[in-house]
Amino acid sequence: MHLSAPHQVHLPANRLFAGRSDMVLLRLDPTRLDAPVRWEPGVPGDDPALRFPHLYGPLPVSAVIGVEPYRPGPDGSYPPLTG
């Protein structure tokens, strides 16, 4: 399962879901994951130093510590997370 660190969330959201208004952001507690998380490259053309977390196994509901809407701006693009 592709995951993102908070500072990365907008990157795949804009690549894959720009303009959609039905997205939600799941906040996870990594200490509650039972399966391995591996940091791997993104897509070709990304900065080679950029790595995204990928979960190799099920996502336990207990690891989800927050759910919130993630809405695009007026131009349809998703902003970086703040705070």
Domains of the chain: total: 1
Can you give the pLDDT at residue 83? 65
In a domain, 83, yes or no: no
The pTM assigned to this predicted structure is 0.85
**pLDDT at residue 43, rounded to an integer:** 86
In angstroms, the CA 53 to CA 6 distance is 11
Reported confidence tier of residue 28, pLDDT bands at 50, 70, 90 = very high
Task: Specify if 1 maps to a domain.
Answer: no
Residue 37, pLDDT above cutoff 80? yes
pLDDT in tens, 40-81: 998 888 888 999 999 999 999 999 999 999 999 999 999 999
The answer to whether residue 77 sits within a structural domain is no
Query: What residue numbers bound the domain in which 17 lies?
Result: 6-69
| Domain membership flag for residue 78 | no
Q: How confident is the model at residue 13 (pLDDT cuts 50, 70, 90)?
A: very high
What is the rounded CA–CA span in Å between residue 72 and residue 83?
Answer: 17
Residue 47 belongs to a domain: yes
Has residue 81 been placed in a domain?
no
